[in-house]
């Protein structure tokens, strides 16, 4: 009796330890990302000064003379993501308002799956769509447009982000207690007034969080920009121009044959580190805001 109880206890303990190990993998992944990124990034900064990297305005690691100023990649990334947000923020918010305040149940049940499908379409497919469908339309309107351009990638990325903003903002809006809506209706407010004078202000932190998380997602998006936005690092604000984003640069080098240990190879890690730090910070801010508004109600 005592023996079998002891065995049972040991097995219970063993299982718990195994499960704890599984849970700790997530921490290992984070450590792994940090260590692997910074291992080569450190090597990169032995050869390129931190000052040049952050203040230089030319990015030409694959040609000589090589320049390693990240500004053009950051500018390219910003150009595409800002376009994406101009598309996604108003449309995503409008979609969320409709779903949370206006939609009858039946219509809602129709729209939600469409948004879920849009959210589930692989980015490579969006990339194909940008390059072969949206770009020709843009070029028909503005003939001076480059085959690869920030606008097409930005628009399609924006469309890709609509479901994300819509569903996160909708969550924030449905968390607004109904008693507030009733208070406004009882004063003779229209549905529109209830939406933008009561619901949106009350849900504003969640809405902002959805924008931040979408923005972070846009910065890290890779395939759309690789296919449609080009591979010419350029400090430009012209959306019709070919540019290169941080992610597209990483792909470009990874597809080439830069040998391990070369400076081009290391430059990928430096860029990826920037990408990681920026998106992680945005995500931390975004999830922090979401947690805070969840506590309020």
Partner 1 sequence: MIRQDEMFSPGLQNRQRRNRIFKWIFLSANLLGLVVLAALLVKVMRDSWGWLDLQFISSFPSRFPEKAGILPALYGTVYLMIITAVFAIPLGIGAAVFLEEYAKKSKFLSIIQVNIYNLAGIPSIVYGILGLTVFVRWMMLGRSLLAGGLTMGLLILPVIIVTAQEAIRAVPQSWRHASYALGASKWQTIRYVVLPSALPGILTGIILALSRAIGETAPLIPIGALTFIRVIPGSLFDSFTVLPIQIYNWTSRPQDDFRAIAAAGIVVLLVVLLGMNSIAILLRNKYQGRIKEV
Partner 2 sequence: MTLESIISVRNLHVSYRDRKVLKGINLDIYKNRITAIMGPSGCGKSTLLRCMNRMIDLSEGARVGGKVLYRGENIYSPKIDPAQIRFRIGMVFQKPNPFPKSIFENVAFGPRINGYKGDLSALVEQSLQRAGLWDEVKDRLHENAYMLSGGQQQRLCIARALALEPEVLLLDEPCSALDPISTMHVEELIRQLKERLTIVIVTHNIQQAARVADYTAFLLQGELVEFGETSRMFTVPKDKRTEDFITGRFG
* CB contact at 8 A, 203 and 194: no
Distance, first Cα to last Cα, the chain: 52
Site string for partner 2, 195-234 (x = CB under 8 A): --xx--xx--------------------------------
Rule CB under 8 A: say whether 186 interacts with partner 2.
Answer: yes
- State how far the Cα of 256 lies from the Cα of 286, in Å rounded to an integer: 35
219 binds, among partner 2, partner 1, none (CB under 5 to 8 A by kind): partner 1
122 binds, among partner 2, partner 1, none (CB under 5 to 8 A by kind): partner 1
94 binds, among partner 1, partner 2, none (CB under 5 to 8 A by kind): partner 1
Q: Which residues of 57-72 are buried (b: 16+ CB within 10 A; e: fewer)?
A: ebbebeeeeebbbbbb
For residue 59, list its beta bridge partners.
68
Rule CB under 8 A: say whether 7 interacts with partner 2.
Answer: no
182 binds, among partner 1, partner 2, none (CB under 5 to 8 A by kind): partner 2
Give which of 170, 192, 72 is closest to 116, Cα–Cα.
170
* CB contact at 8 A, 79 and 237: yes
Provide the minimum distance between the beta carbon of 20 and partner 2 in the complex, in angstroms, as a whole number: 42
Give which of 248, 197, 200, 240 is closest to 222, Cα–Cα.
248
Rule CB under 8 A: say whether 292 interacts with partner 2.
Answer: no
Q: Give whole-number Cα distances, 198 to 171, 173, 182, 191, 210, in Å.
A: 15, 10, 10, 10, 18
Location of structure tokens 């049940």: 109
**Residue closer to partner 1 (CB basis): 65 or 188:** 188
Task: Write the CB contacts of 228 (distance below 8 Å, at least 6 apart in sequence).
Answer: 127, 130, 131, 134, 135, 148, 149, 152, 153, 156
Rule CB under 8 A: say whether 179 interacts with partner 2.
Answer: yes
Considering only residues 78, 111, 119, 184, which one is a binding residue for partner 2 as defined by CB under 8 A? 184
Between residue 114 and residue 143, which ones bind partner 2 under the rule CB under 8 A?
none
185 binds, among partner 1, partner 2, none (CB under 5 to 8 A by kind): partner 2
Considering only residues 6, 8, 90, 177, which one is a binding residue for partner 2 as defined by CB under 8 A? 177
Rule CB under 8 A: say whether 36 interacts with partner 2.
Answer: no
**Residue closer to partner 1 (CB basis): 65 or 104:** 104
- Cα radius of gyration (the chain): 24
**Residue closer to partner 2 (CB basis): 57 or 190:** 190
Provide the minimum distance between the beta carbon of 178 and partner 2 in the complex, in angstroms, as a whole number: 8
Q: Contact residues for partner 2 (CB under 8 A)?
A: 177, 179-190, 193, 197-198, 201-202
């Amino acid at each position: 009796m005592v023996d079998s109880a002891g065995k049972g206890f040991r097995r219970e303990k063993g299982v718990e330890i195994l499960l704890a190990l599984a849970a700790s993998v997530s921490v290992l992944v984070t450590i792994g990302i940090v260590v692997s990124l910074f291992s080569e990034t450190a090597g990169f900064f032995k050869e390129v000064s931190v000052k040049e990297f952050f203040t230089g305005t030319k990015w030409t690691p694959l040609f000589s003379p090589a320049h390693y100023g990240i500004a053009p990649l950051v500018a390219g990334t910003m150009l595409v993501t800002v376009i994406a947000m101009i598309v996604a923020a108003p449309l995503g918010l409008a979609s969320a308002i409709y779903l949370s305040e206006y939609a009858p149940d039946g219509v809602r049940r129709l729209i939600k799956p469409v948004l879920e499908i849009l959210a589930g379409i692989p980015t490579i497919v969006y990339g194909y769509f940008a390059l072969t469908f949206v770009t020709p339309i843009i070029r028909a309107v503005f003939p001076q447009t480059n085959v690869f351009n920030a606008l097409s990638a930005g628009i399609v990325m924006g469309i890709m982000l609509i479901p994300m903003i819509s569903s996160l903002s909708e969550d924030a809006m449905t968390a607004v207690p109904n008693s507030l809506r009733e208070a406004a209706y009882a004063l003779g407010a229209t549905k529109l007034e209830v939406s933008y004078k009561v619901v949106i202000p009350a849900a504003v932190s969640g809405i902002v969080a959805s924008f931040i998380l979408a923005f972070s997602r846009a910065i890290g998006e890779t395939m759309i920009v690789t296919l449609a936005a080009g591979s010419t690092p350029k400090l430009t604000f012209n959306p019709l121009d070919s540019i290169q984003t941080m992610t597209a640069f990483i792909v470009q080098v990874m597809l080439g044959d830069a040998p391990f240990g070369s400076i081009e190879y290391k430059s990928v890690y430096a860029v990826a580190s920037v990408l990681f730090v920026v998106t992680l910070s945005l995500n931390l801010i975004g999830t922090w805001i979401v947690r805070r508004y969840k506590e309020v109600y």
